[in-house]
Amino acid sequence: MPGPVDTLALEPGDTVAVEGRSGGWRVTRLDMNEMPSAVLEPVSTVVIGEDDGRPSPGEGAGVSGAPFFRMIELPPLIGSEDDGRPIAVVAFDPWRPMRVFAGAEAASLAARCEVSQPATVGVLVEVLPVGARHRWDDVNALLVRVEGRAPESRSDTAVFAGGNTGAVETAGDWELVQFRSSTLVGDGVWRLTGLLRGQQGTAVTGASGGAVVVFLDTVPIRTDSPRAERALPLLWRAGPAGGPAGGIGVSELGFTALGIHERPWSPAHLRTVVRTDGGFDLDWIARARIDGDRWDGEALASGSSRFRVRVLNGAVVVRAFEVEAYAATYTAGDLVADFPGGLDVGARVSVAQWGEGYGWGQEAVAMLTG
């Protein structure tokens, strides 16, 4: 501070030098009492175009960057079996409420849902190989870097009730995987073991390193998407709630809803029995997508009793036909016509169920051996 005598010669707005301090100092207030004094502030010498690190008028605390955003469709989930709408996966740090928009083009975007809590997502650190279905897979593990809520170990009973479920991004779909144990092995990297693969009728095809994993540890955020939009490619965006549907801080992607919730599951227990004439008798059991895991009574199969049978030689379909039953016959005459030189190593048969509003579901496959 200047001394009393120096203060008498000053006026607000004057610039002075202060002993022991660098730069100029501006007088902002003078107090002329028994001990005159002046209040000073440093003079900014910022050149236009430079950044002094301090906020300038009009600067807000807006979001830096755009959120992680995915749109996914999944089969019926435990606890929300009747809701087949697409799921919005939005994550950002630091989090703020988000809004999801969709439309045929940018000019026709409309709000589809509000996202109040971030999703827990991760990426695979290493490849997830193909594994066993319908039993614990204790050979393979999910090694995943997690952003968000840390995964927890749970009991067998809790897992059977739907706990610890994640959707793993595969080449063309999503595999639902449940896990029993989680172990922290690095900075944000977890090893998930005791796996149940291909849950809720999803295919077990494995996943590559870097694939996205969405943890369904909270109620999924469903978006408004009417049946009339199925098979229509739409533009989807996610950005801060209360903001526009475009610009900085908004993520964009193309997504087409297909109605995966109504996709028939692959039939179970497909058997091929050699007939006395050299043909094959085929039979299978249709699976129920909803309420099929009951202890009392008999579960009803979901969908129609219409099935497609395809006979393949490697990747080539040599015969296809439909039946409205849970069995079919591949006659000896048809076999000779399709394989005149006898059955090849790649000879197999596949069966798929028809789903109203969706089409042919996933196939069950069995080898043809004489």
DSSP string, 122-190: EEESS-B----BSS-B-S--EEEEEESSPP----HHHHHTT-SEEEEE-SSSEEEEEEEEEEEEETTEE
- Mean pLDDT calculated for residue range 122-140: 93
What is the predicted pLDDT for the residue at 86? 97
Cβ–Cβ under 8 Å, residues 15 and 25: yes
Choice among 3-17, 20-34, 168-182, 324-338 with the minimum mean pLDDT: 3-17
What is the predicted pLDDT for the residue at 34? 46
What is the predicted pLDDT for the residue at 5? 39
Q: CA angle at residue 169 from 140 to 181, to 5 degrees?
A: 35
Fold observed for domain 268-367: Immunoglobulin-like (2.60.40)
Choice among 25-34, 45-54, 218-227, 237-246 with the minimum mean pLDDT: 45-54
What is the predicted pLDDT for the residue at 13? 58
Alpha carbon distances (Å) from 214 to 149, 194, 198, 356: 11, 18, 15, 29
Percent of the chain residues topping a pLDDT of 70: 81
Give the three-state DSSP class for 276. Answer: coil
Report how far apart the first and last C-alpha atoms of the chain are (Å, whole number): 103
Percent of the chain residues topping a pLDDT of 90: 67
pLDDT in tens, 334-343: 999 999 999 9
Cβ–Cβ under 8 Å, residues 327 and 307: no
**Does residue 152 register a pLDDT over 50?**
yes
pLDDT in tens, 245-283: 999 999 999 999 999 999 999 999 999 999 989 999 999
Q: Which of 98, 44, 39, 30 has the alpha carbon at shortest distance from 66?
A: 98
Position with higher pLDDT, 232 vs 14: 232
Confidence bin at 218 (pLDDT 50/70/90): confident
Choice among 2-6, 100-104, 366-370 with the minimum mean pLDDT: 2-6
Confidence bin at 166 (pLDDT 50/70/90): very high
Alpha carbon distances (Å) from 331 to 64, 273, 277, 281: 66, 12, 8, 8
What is the predicted pLDDT for the residue at 64? 58
Confidence bin at 196 (pLDDT 50/70/90): very high
Residue 261, phi then psi, degrees to nearest 5:
-55, -30
CA atoms within 13 A on the CB side of 55: 6
Q: Which of 298, 309, 111 has the alpha carbon at shortest distance from 221?
A: 111
What is the predicted pLDDT for the residue at 60? 38
Residue 333, phi then psi, degrees to nearest 5:
-65, -45
Confidence bin at 12 (pLDDT 50/70/90): low
What distance in Å separates the CA atoms of residue 245 and residue 238, rounded to the nearest whole number? 7
Q: Which residue has the tokens 């005791």?
A: 194
Q: Which of 329, 285, 251 has the alpha carbon at shortest distance from 63?
A: 251
**Based on C-alpha coordinates, what's the Rg of the chain?**
32
Domain-wise residue ranges, the chain = 4-42, 68-257, 268-367
Give me 284's structure tokens: 């299978």
pLDDT in tens, 28-51: 666 655 456 666 667 644 333 444
What distance in Å separates the CA atoms of residue 115 and residue 119, rounded to the nearest whole number? 9
- Burial class of residue 100, CB neighbours in 10 A (0-12, 13-18, 19+): buried
